[in-house]
A and B are shown apart, each in its own frame.
Chain A
């Protein structure tokens, strides 16, 4: 498998993210907006711990290590 395929799939996932975000702004039955998704995660009993630890790990992994 070449890197082109891998990058293409990453680009596709990025495009889907943008389309999903745009769809979430539409009127009517639609996916929740990203802010609402974040609030759902931040108010879940276990999910909020996972969210905070994930944020901490991501920052440390990306910028300090």
Chain B
């Protein structure tokens, strides 16, 4: 995909596809290892704690100290966040309602209890763990310095041949 097209779609260009695929493979392998650990054990603590420490280090190293919140063109997108905020609020309300309801957790499932059920299957647990890792990588990348966002805020394309 051309770099200009990637910028048009609001994505960061991948510096090297081989590295990207190697990272995906490493993430899948790590998720499979994590899926074979049991909660409340030292191995689960280590396997889960390692990405948390790595993300904390990456955030300190890669993110700017002072940040400028992303703003979209109000003409092109009058209310870009409203629907997501409403959905998030609905999820929180229902999570709290289920959590506080009297009765068994089976009658009032929370997100945690549903994911606990998913985690009983190693393959599904590996998938969820991989999604968690992927989200962490996305957070680090999106919070880094912006290199151009959409047509109205697009920065000039980087010269070719420059790493």
Contact = CB atoms under 8 A, between A and B. Distances in A.
Interface of A: 1-3, 6-7, 9-10, 13, 16-17, 20, 23, 29-33, 35-40, 42-45, 47-48, 51-52, 55-56, 58-65
A39 to B, nearest CB: 4
A31 B47 contact: no
Interface of B: 10-11, 34, 37, 39-40, 44-45, 47-49, 51-52, 55-56, 59, 63, 67-70, 72, 76-84, 87, 90-91, 94, 98, 101, 106-109, 112, 114-115, 119, 125, 128-129, 132, 135-136, 138-139, 142-143, 146, 149
B84 A44 contact: no
14 contacts: A3-B109, A6-B107, A20-B83, A23-B83, A29-B79, A40-B69, A44-B69, A48-B63, A48-B143, A55-B135, A62-B119, A63-B119, A64-B49, A65-B39
